[in-house]
Amino acid sequence: MIRTNKDSTLSQVITALRFPLIVLVLFVHSNFKGVSFAWDNALKASFSLPIGNINLSLGTFIDFISGSLAPLANPFFFFVSGLLFFHCRQFTRKVYINKIRHRLQSLLIPYILWNLLFLLIIAIGSSLRPGWTAIIDKPLSNFTIKDYLLIFWDTSLIGQKGGLATPIDIPLWFVRNLMVLSLASPFIYTTIHLLSRWHKRLALYMLLIFLYAIHYLPDQWEGWGQSLLFFSLGATFTILKWDVTKLFKPYGIYGIIGACLFYWAQLANLMYAALIVTIISLTTYIIEHRQQQGLTSKLIPNILTDSSFFIYAAHTLPQGIILWSLKLEWLPITGATSVLIVYFLSPVILTTVCLLSFILLRRISPISLYFLTGGRQ
């Protein structure tokens, strides 16, 4: 099992950021553009202010939050995963095997269970409404063995609909990619180690260059490229024994400046790298300042930290209800104000529903919760 000293600043920073990053994921999925005519019409009718080539409006505000800023969560999670995966005195074959064994519990088992749960829900929906399979363009009655296997890998390959290249529980594409990267970790470690022997910072420089170059990859490969590069970026700091909390702490303001410049240049991945520096720097400052004042370094309540993975894996279930409510116009969208209310309430509703489910499950069936969260409870 991957462990860090619970009293270390790094561990405290990671713990403090876990739930806020999940909230960013919820905001990514709260942009309901194209879901209903009422929503789209309200956006079109909202106030707009043309500035050069940019049209500032409610739509551009939501697109910025959900489409540019909030997606930071995924590269940040990959960065932290790479940072922690190689957190050991020496990355040996025995260490690698132990880490993979742990991931059978923490990643693979929850991955299988959540996707099976979503498949069950699809099956129930299909029985109530024949032919309905939500994001899959093929009735379950026509599924082949290959289709059932693709449920756990890439549902866009089922039928002719295409769409997101994710498992049936859409957010778990992150877990899928992370499992592949964990298996490939000896190659990542060897590459970083060899590059660092030639020059201490060579691996870091090359990864930053690749983060720029990934902008030109085809869309179907960009997601995998982002996963690999940010995982490797986090791995580089750990393999070279660099403490990111100490290293990033003085450079928070430079991270903000860099993020603004990269956003203007439409280099999203470099913007995320700069924001990672700023966020870790700021969180480190806050924690150390609280410690100096004799206050607790815990910034987020335990229940929110403990339930973060559950919220991440489960939130598309209640989100489906919000989507259908918008499509059927059960939620009154009459203008910009109602759009803003629904937009900001959506993450709150998703968090509340999933959190209450987490608490209930922990009371009535802690064993089930243990397997669904991979021991994160």
Q: What percent of the chain has pLDDT over 90?
A: 65
Cβ(255)–Cβ(277) below 8 Å: yes
Task: Kindly state the tokens that stand for 231.
Answer: 């995982």
User: Residue 294's pLDDT is what?
Assistant: 85
User: Residue 70's pLDDT is what?
Assistant: 96
CA distance 161 to 139: 12
Of the pLDDT bands very low, low, confident and very high (cuts 50, 70, 90), residue 89 is confident
Q: What is the enclosing helix (H) or strand (E) of 118? A: helix 109-128
* C-alpha 322, offset from chain centre: 20
Report the pLDDT averaged over residues 95-118.
94
Of the pLDDT bands very low, low, confident and very high (cuts 50, 70, 90), residue 134 is low
* C-alpha 189, offset from chain centre: 23
User: Residue 1's pLDDT is what?
Assistant: 33
User: Residue 226's pLDDT is what?
Assistant: 94
Count of other CB atoms within 10 angstroms of residue 315: 23
Question: Residue type for 72, please?
Answer: L
What's this model's pTM, rounded to 2 decimal places? 0.92
CA distance 41 to 207: 43
Per-residue pLDDT tens for 171-213?
999 999 999 999 999 999 999 999 999 988 999 999 999 999 9
Of the CA atoms within 13 Å of residue 229, those in its CB half-sphere come to 23
pLDDT > 70? residue 354: yes
Per-residue pLDDT tens for 47-61?
777 666 677 888 889
Report the pLDDT averaged over residues 318-339.
87
Question: Which of 79 and 154 is assigned the larger pLDDT?
Answer: 79
Report the pLDDT averaged over residues 51-79.
89
User: Residue 140's pLDDT is what?
Assistant: 77
Per-residue pLDDT tens for 3-38?
445 568 899 999 999 999 999 999 999 999 888 888
CA distance 137 to 157: 10
CA distance 279 to 53: 30
